Amino acid sequence: HRATLVQETSTFWQRDPIKMMVLGADEELLIAVSKQRAEFWHLPSRRQVAVVSHQARITSTEVSRDGRLVVTTSEDRTACIWDARTGARLLAPLQHPDLVLAAAFDRSGEQLVTACWDGAVRIWDVVTGAPRQPPLWHGTGVTGVVIAGSASGTGSAAAAM
């Protein structure tokens, strides 16, 4: 059933190949990313829910643990939080001084951690879009982040540099 949908999404896709796919924890939402766009697919109905985009290449995407939210990060120096059911952007884009390469929701879905090429990890309030604390500096570009119990990973909170 999932493999068939992957084939179907590739036939609906315009000219660009799919660069990454992320499956929500409930296995009902699939995010397919190609260049600047992300398509949200509802697996049980085999229906495309939304198409969202950035001004530059999307670098990562993740679905929150409860399946309500999707984050996309981009070379346009933003992270965007979307409603998983409608594709509506919920906040103004979260601005960064350089490329945003990864993001992860915390277990509660109330905070978002972003990894930026400027060497900082930033923690954002998902409801307001405000920073929760000053940036955590690492000195070199941060290319990934994993939070224990997040949709994308296991283990301790970590940032890849």
**pLDDT at site 156:** 30
What burial class does residue 13 get, using C-beta atoms within 10 Å of its C-beta: 0-12 exposed, 13-18 middle, 19+ buried?
middle
pLDDT in tens, 7-60: 554 445 455 789 999 999 989 999 999 999 999 999 999 999 999 999 999 999
Q: Are strands 37-42 and 47-53 parallel, antiparallel or unpaired?
A: antiparallel
Q: How far apart are CA 146 and CA 127, in angstroms?
A: 21
Model pLDDT for residues 52-96, shown as the tens digit of each residue: 999 999 999 999 999 999 999 999 999 999 999 999 999 999 999
Long-range contacts of 74-78 (CB under 8 A, 24+ apart): 74/36, 74/99, 74/100, 75/99, 75/100, 78/54
